[in-house]
Amino acid sequence: MTEDNHSLTTEFILIGFTNHPELKTLLFQVFFTIYLITMVGNLGLVALIVTEHRLHTPMYIFLGNLALMDSCCSCAITPKILENLFSKDRMISLYECMAQFYCLCLAETTDCFLLAAMAYDRYVAICKPLQYHTMMSKKLCIQMTTGAYIAGNIHPMIQVGLLFRLTFCKSHQINHFLCDVLPLYRHSCVDPYINELMIFIFAGSVLVFTITTVIISYLFILFTIFKMKSKEGKGKALSTCASHFLSVSIFYGSLLFMYVRPNSVNDEDKDIPVAIFYTLVIPLLNPFIYSLRNKEVINAMKKIMKNL
């Protein structure tokens, strides 16, 4: 295709969730409720960790940053969904599209490394409790958190930079509720093979490294738990690890299915259901999974409520 035959596209229309206009009021209420709970839950958790000195430990520092990134993801995605449900044009410029993808990729990549750091922290706490303060020093905690943010920014910089080699001259309608790279590749009039290869390599490398860290950490944790003599302690540890591992499995599973599965660029039917999980459901559930089952967090909340 040449520019003579097709005008270049600089704006897109997000048509996700618009096939059933009779449901737009219900969808608005559902997504607004999810957005409100997500923001209150995650930002409330960040505020709690910052103000409560007893929560200034590696586990809660990682958790606070995870909540911050989940808030970032929700802010980048949900307001645009709510706007498009009642907007007539549902337009988004190419640069707005890239900015939205950058924020999404930043949040998801950083989350991957933070979840791996949290798994390693739990491994040290359960398997090597006497060496915990030595192995999980404040310096290492800061280095791991900083590394997560650095990696979280490098990955979207590369992917967004590669988008500038593409030109878009096909249909300007994107069958999605957000600007992700896979729908953009389908609208490119330049072969996106290099972009597909790079996202497979970088996303795959991030996922393989962090998933391997999580799996190895939890395997050692399970071995240690099964060696415990106390049934009460064993049940408590298993319950905590099971809820954490469930959240991690859903998060990593949806990302793997979305970006690393074969023929992911051409298979757009599964984009929206999978994206709902890692952009809306996981940020909504994380504060409850990691906090409400935690006595230290609950006690800190009770303390603050009493002081009000």
* Tens digit of each residue's pLDDT (9 = 90 or more) over 119-171: 999 899 888 889 999 999 989 999 999 999 999 999 999 999 998 888 887 67
pLDDT of residue 1: 39
* pLDDT reading at 306 higher than 70: yes
Q: Is 96 among the domain residues?
A: yes
Distance from C-alpha of 206 to C-alpha of 259, rounded to nearest angstrom: 12
Choose from 8-22, 181-195, 249-263 the range with maximum mean pLDDT.
181-195
Number of domains comprising the chain:
1
Average pLDDT over residues 21-32: 89
Residue 305 has pLDDT above 60, yes or no: yes
Report the C-alpha gap between 143 and 59 in whole angstroms: 14
* Residue 261: predicted pLDDT: 63
Which among 265, 292, 276 is positioned nearest to 73, based on CA atoms?
276
pLDDT at 211: 92
How far apart are alpha carbons 234 and 239 in whole angstroms? Answer: 9
Q: Which of 59, 77, 71, 191 is nearest to 138 (CA)?
A: 59
Q: Is 182 helix (H, G, I), strand (E, B) or coil?
A: helix
Distance CA 19, CA 181 (A): 22
With 50 as the cut, is the pLDDT of residue 6 above it?
no
Sign for the CA dihedral angle at 285, 81, 257, 202 comes to negative
- The answer to whether 278 and 254 are in contact (CB under 8 A) is yes
Sheet with 11-14, edge to edge strand ranges: 91-93, 11-14, 173-174
Could you tell me if residue 55 is inside a domain? yes
Alpha carbon separation from 288 to 42, 279, 285 (Å, rounded) = 9, 16, 5
Share of the chain above pLDDT 90, in %: 41
Q: Do 86 and 28 form a contact (C-beta atoms < 8 A)?
A: yes
Q: What is the pLDDT of residues 199-239, one digit of tens each?
A: 889 988 998 999 999 999 999 998 888 888 777 777 767 76
* pLDDT single digits (tens) 163-204: 888 888 767 888 888 888 888 888 888 888 898 889 889 988
Task: Report how far residue 150's alpha carbon sits from residue 62's, in angstroms, rounded to the nearest whole number.
Answer: 15
- What is the span of the domain harbouring residue 254? 11-297
Flag whether 223 is in a domain: yes
The answer to whether position 201 is within a domain reads yes
d(CA 114, CA 234): 26
CATH, residue 15: 1.20.1070.10
pLDDT at site 144: 96
User: What is the rounded distance in angstroms from the CA atom of residue 90 to the CA atom of residue 211?
Assistant: 37
- The token duo for 9 is 């596209």
Residue 2 domain flag: no
Residue environment code for 88-99, b if the CB has 16+ CB neighbours within 10 A, otherwise e: eebebebeebbb
The pair of structure tokens assigned to 186 is 């389908």
Q: Is residue 308 part of a domain?
A: no
Digit-coded pLDDT (tens) for 63-87:
999 999 999 999 999 999 999 888 8
The tokens describing 141, both together, are 């905690």
Residue 254 phi/psi, 5° resolution? -65, -40
Q: Is residue 67 part of a domain?
A: yes
Q: Is residue 306 part of a domain?
A: no
125, 132 Cβ separation under 8 angstroms? yes
